[in-house]
Amino acid sequence: MLAEIITIGDEILIGQIIDTNSAFIAKELNKIGISVYQITSVQDDREHILQSLSEAQSRADIVLVTGGLGPTKDDITKHTFCEFFNDTLVENKDVLKHVEALFAKHISTPISDINRQQALVLSKSEVLHNDYGTAPGMWIHEEDTTFISLPGVPFEMKNLILSRVVPKLANFYKRPHIIHKTIITYGLGESAIAQKIEAWEDNLPNFIKLAYLPNLGKVRLRLTAKGSDFDILSNAIEEELRKLFPLIGDIIYGTEDDEAIEQVIGKLLTKKGLTLATAESFTGGSIAEHITSVPGASSYFKGSIVSYATEVKINTLNVPRELIETHSVVSEAVAIAMAKGVKKIMDVDFAIATTGNAGPSKGDSIADVGTVFIAIASPNGIFANEFNMGKQRERVVQKSVNKAFEMLQKEILKM
């Protein structure tokens, strides 16, 4: 059972927006046993769209198209669909009523004839009601292929996928089962992990595939099983995981299907009644951003001091000037002093502090680009570790954020 996704819009091809729709759709289709064969982005161009539809029909059972359903002249998807299916547009009274209700309730400008044209749909299509927008989805089944047209606005598309498309596909097609289980590891590189689990990997059942997904200080190991019997697949995956944990259990920090590490840390802090604060220099508040992305973080996270400049470390975090002059602003001593300072100021149980040189220049530091120090203050004491995270600025920051969470979780588990 294969699907193909076509995203329509010049804004994607010129890099003005990122195509997040395809990733969401692919993930939801996989959950019901439908594999995505190809993802294509095309211009708002009649010939390009027609060619993409024809090619997708030759390869896939299901073709999902997002974008190009707006009311303006540059959105040509519906008219191009009419040409491809040799069909015409007709007014759908239910859609028109919905569009008029949306304008009356939520939009201050008067409704125009252009807006009313959103109620035009292909005569042979089944309308997929869009709760949150004026452009409905359309379902057309022709010559053993199902075509689904969806608006490109992400929150509208997501609601349609979850509430209309996925349930309808699940009822319409008999599908295999696809199970993914992704293990998240921190602290060991891809090649080192591969060496440790080589024998285990070589003996995986032929219906289970392993993929390595390295990403800035962490490696995800994704197991994928595909077949007709869900229980057999599920039990086989769990059995292989039981064999894997004794080999690399010390670097496994959870599964992607469950929670991100910042969520795990939040639950640990909540359960133990502990609090946290951060003092960030080169990470610029990234650690705090991850922490506060978790609902309920206010119960354990007190705040952050982004001491990007040396003077802020001295005047706000009370890092002694002579300490910086003696050891440099990027040093173990300064990281420890930062953690100590924010722990006292915020009156918390745990504190993270980062100081480093993310590049491209050295700034106030004599340390090489990529040199970072991460400090953890806990009820048991304060320590800092030195790392070299490479030369690329974005990678230095993200790898350091991941490492800080790894270090913090280990310390919380000691309590």
Residues 223-245 have a mean pLDDT of 92
Residues 371-379 have a mean pLDDT of 97
In this prediction, residue 122 carries a pLDDT of 95
CA-nearest of 298, 412, 308, 293 to 355 is: 308
The side-by-side arrangement of strands in the sheet containing 35-42 is 35-42, 2-8, 62-66, 145-150, 137-142, 126-128
Domain ranges of the chain: 2-172, 177-255, 261-413
**pLDDT tens digits for 149-198?**
999 999 999 999 999 999 999 999 988 888 888 998 888 889 999 999 99
Tell me the percentage of the chain whose pLDDT exceeds 70: 98
Q: Which two tokens stand for residue 261?
A: 């590490």
Contact 401, 286 (CB under 8 A): yes
In this prediction, residue 400 carries a pLDDT of 93
Asked whether the predicted pLDDT for residue 205 surpasses 70, the reply is yes
Which of 94-108, 249-263, 265-279 ranks highest by mean pLDDT?
A: 265-279
Asked whether the predicted pLDDT for residue 287 surpasses 90, the reply is yes
Tell me the percentage of the chain whose pLDDT exceeds 90: 70
The CATH homologous superfamily for domain 2-172 is: MoaB/Mog-like domain (3.40.980.10)
**pLDDT tens digits for 117-159?**
889 999 999 999 999 989 999 999 988 999 999 999 999 999 9
In this prediction, residue 362 carries a pLDDT of 62
**pLDDT tens digits for 296-325?**
999 999 999 999 999 999 999 999 999 999
In this prediction, residue 41 carries a pLDDT of 95
Place of tokens 């059942």: 205
| pLDDT band of 110, cuts 50, 70, 90 | confident
| pLDDT band of 260, cuts 50, 70, 90 | confident
pTM for the full predicted model: 0.63
Q: Which two tokens stand for residue 107?
A: 């939009």
Average pLDDT of the chain to the nearest whole number: 92
In this prediction, residue 76 carries a pLDDT of 85
Class of domain 177-255: alpha beta
In this prediction, residue 216 carries a pLDDT of 74
| Three-class DSSP category at 384 | strand
Residues 210-238 have a mean pLDDT of 90
Q: Which CATH number applies to 261-413?
A: 3.90.950.20
| pLDDT band of 364, cuts 50, 70, 90 | low
Asked whether the predicted pLDDT for residue 72 surpasses 80, the reply is no
Sign of CA dihedral 348, 350, 356, 358: negative
Residues 4-15 have a mean pLDDT of 92
In this prediction, residue 404 carries a pLDDT of 95
CA-nearest of 354, 349, 355, 353 to 412 is: 349
The side-by-side arrangement of strands in the sheet containing 350-356 is 301-306, 276-280, 350-356, 371-378, 381-388
In this prediction, residue 318 carries a pLDDT of 96
In this prediction, residue 325 carries a pLDDT of 93
Residues 98-114 have a mean pLDDT of 85
Give the residue, 259 or 303, on which the prediction is more confident.
303
| pLDDT band of 363, cuts 50, 70, 90 | low
Asked whether the predicted pLDDT for residue 258 surpasses 70, the reply is no
In this prediction, residue 212 carries a pLDDT of 94
